[in-house]
A = this chain, B = another copy of it.
């Protein structure tokens, strides 16, 4: 899945932008629910903490509705954009209310919380599940059909714009937008553009207050 996400990110990236996909060395094979999300958050932070490759200008976090973004903001000195908030930020610019279509119903609450805390929950009309697990998304035809059905529910709730509620749906946006007749935002692409924007403007996370650098102390990353 990381490969597909990287492909989506590269499609969105501007000419001068190189995209490097990082997969955590540990964690769940996919994130569905809070337990997976917290485990994944720690693993993602650990991956970045131990990264020793060429320098990078920004971090895009590709777990839709997943935890971790604030921790990464503390860790790195470059801008950090999470695909959940990124999709919502762009969706707000395209209609008065937006909706999110995601995988399992159990993820809806987590996404709602993520949007709320990111400060973009107000104009979210609905978060709707398709009943598909993250690893079911490989079947594109079935995914598309399930997306269209769930999208109708979001439309009925007032959504004028839709958001792909899982990085694994990347690539679907054009087809479903055409069928639904409304704009569909892919969080991966959105996050890439927002990250590029922040970099271009010379902006990065504030160190004043919440996202100060981590206090130096002993930390053990996984069973010793």
How many copies of this chain does the complex contain? 6
Q: Which of B89, B110, B205 contacts A95 (CB 8 A)?
A: B205
Tell me whether A183 is interfacial, beta carbon within 8 Å: yes
Tell me whether A144 is interfacial, beta carbon within 8 Å: no
**A93 B198 Cβ-Cβ under 8 A:** yes
Tell me whether A52 is interfacial, beta carbon within 8 Å: no
Tell me whether A14 is interfacial, beta carbon within 8 Å: yes
A201-224 CB contact bits vs B (8 Å, 1 = yes)?
111111111111011011111111
Number of A residues, CB within 8 Å of B: 97
C-alpha spacing A46/B26, complex, angstroms: 13
Q: Given A106-B210, A121-B122: A39 and B221 within 8 A (CB)?
A: yes
C-alpha spacing A27/B180, complex, angstroms: 34
**B161 A206 Cβ-Cβ under 8 A:** yes
Q: Given A198-B90, A201-B193: A208 and B155 within 8 A (CB)?
A: yes
C-alpha spacing A23/B183, complex, angstroms: 30
A150-177 CB contact bits vs B (8 Å, 1 = yes)?
0000010010110000000000001000
C-alpha spacing A204/B39, complex, angstroms: 23
**A85 B93 Cβ-Cβ under 8 A:** yes
C-alpha spacing A80/B92, complex, angstroms: 11
Tell me whether A1 is interfacial, beta carbon within 8 Å: no
Tell me whether A37 is interfacial, beta carbon within 8 Å: yes
Closest Cβ–Cβ distance, residue A124 to chain B (whole Å): 8
C-alpha spacing A224/B221, complex, angstroms: 11
Taking A36-B215, A89-B93 as known contacts, 14 extra A-B pairs with beta carbons closer than 8 A to each other, sorted by chain A number, are A12-B201, A14-B200, A29-B218, A33-B212, A34-B70, A35-B75, A39-B221, A42-B42, A70-B110, A95-B205, A95-B209, A181-B207, A182-B208, A190-B201
Nearest first, the 7 closest Cβ-Cβ pairs linking A and B are A222-B222, A119-B123, A193-B197, A42-B42, A34-B70, A95-B206, A35-B71
Give 8 CB contacts A-B under 8 Å.
A26-B221, A35-B45, A36-B217, A95-B210, A120-B122, A221-B222, A221-B223, A222-B223
